[in-house]
Amino acid sequence: MSRLRELFDQQGQSPWLDNLRRGWITSGELQALIDRGVRGITSNPSIFQKAMTGTDDYDEQLGALAGAGYSIEDSYWDLVTSDIVDALDLLRPVHEATGGLDGFVSVEVDPSLAADTAGTEDAARHLRSVIDRPNLFVKIPATAEGIPAIRTMVSEGCSVNVTLIFSLDRYQEVMEAYVGGLEDREGDLSGISSVASFFISRTDTEIDRRLEAIGTPEALDLRGLAAVAQGQVAYDLFRRAFSGHRWEALAARGARVQRPLWASTSTKNPSYPDTLYVDALIGPDTVNTLPETTLEAFDDHGTLARTVDADPEGARSTLAAVQAVGVDLDDVSRVLEEEGVGAFVKSFVELLETLGQKADELA
């Protein structure tokens, strides 16, 4: 049995794939990964930029769309929708076999709407109507403007992947938006699911940079510790939020917990173990979405053990120590959120430009 299957069977963590490209769907490679234990897929504008510009797999459909007079942006969404629907169909058996726990595919709203609550809601409704599948997650960024959109969409019965979470304070707002959205909705809640995507390795990259700039022995000794510690504290907050009378009233109506999802789990620093951000965050009711290199590394030599809640107070002490040496964690999360949104917008804009050039050539 693969470690990917054991990760769920033994520890209750669902391994998802943080990538999607058409060639994997048509070649059977994606089905093979599902057979090995992949239980879901996440995508974003950067992923589609690489997929659509790095191969000619999309040229035939793009040419047909251009010939039919579609705009470049409409063509982009048509290409994306095709891939998402095909992936959803491949994962539908997983969704049904797990009673709706897994088998999801995530697609992100236009990243330029990150500061537009109403625009995000309209985009989420559109994606949900166009891609009419029970195992679809609409991705909404956890910006200040995204929080009310999350609550609204959950109240309308939309399953949501909340993305770009970088701080514990914002994570608590995300959980409150989900719970509040469930409370706003009447009737059975069992058809609504959600994950909260906490970005991990990017946090270490930014905090390590600041620790090295401080340069004291105490600061340097903290490198590579903060991101995991933040994830472990987040898990403790999750367990607290989804317990007690308020949650039990929703659970009685079929509500599902909003699982923490560990995103950005490839190791950016080559001096760190290549499975660091998987091995240190394993526990029940969680998801880890893995780029293929990290997935292969974990399946080859990852450590299967419950680690995410081994020492929550120790994790809090680590974060306190990082702040004590002079790292402003609030500023770290602000910078990372701005960079994350900016990177997705950049990928989106550049991809539209490339598709426009390709469409002209194909025409």
Per-residue pLDDT of 165-210, as tens digits, reads 999 999 999 999 999 999 999 999 999 999 999 999 999 999 999 9
The dihedral through the CA atoms of 166, 167, 169, 172 has a sign that is positive
CB 34 within 8 Å of CB 94: yes
The single residue of 139, 268, 346, 358 carrying the catalytic annotation is: 139
Q: How many angstroms from the chain centroid is the CA of residue 170?
A: 15
32-36, 42-46, 186-190, 284-288 — which is least confidently predicted? 42-46
Is 139 an active-site residue? Answer: yes
pLDDT at 2 over 80: yes
In whole angstroms, what separates CA 148 from the centre of its chain? Answer: 19
Query: What length is written for the chain?
Result: 363
Domain ranges of the chain: 3-357
What is the phi/psi pair of residue 144, to 5°?
Answer: -60, -35
Question: Does the pLDDT of residue 1 top 80, yes or no?
Answer: no
Residue 163 sits at the vertex; the CA angle it makes with 85 and 316, to the nearest 5 degrees, is 145
- Say how far apart CA 125 and CA 115 lie, in whole Å: 17
Q: How sure is the predictor about 114, in pLDDT bands with cuts at 50, 70 and 90?
A: very high
DSSP helix/strand/coil, 15: strand
CA atoms within 13 A on the CB side of 18: 20
Top-level CATH class of 3-357?
alpha beta
* Lookup: tokens for 49: 């930029």
What's the CA gap between 170 and 162, in Å, rounded? 11
Predicted confidence band at 229 (pLDDT cuts at 50, 70, 90)?
very high
The region that residue 211 occupies, defined by phi over 0 for left and psi between -120 and 50 for alpha, beta otherwise, is alpha
0.85 exceeded by pTM = yes
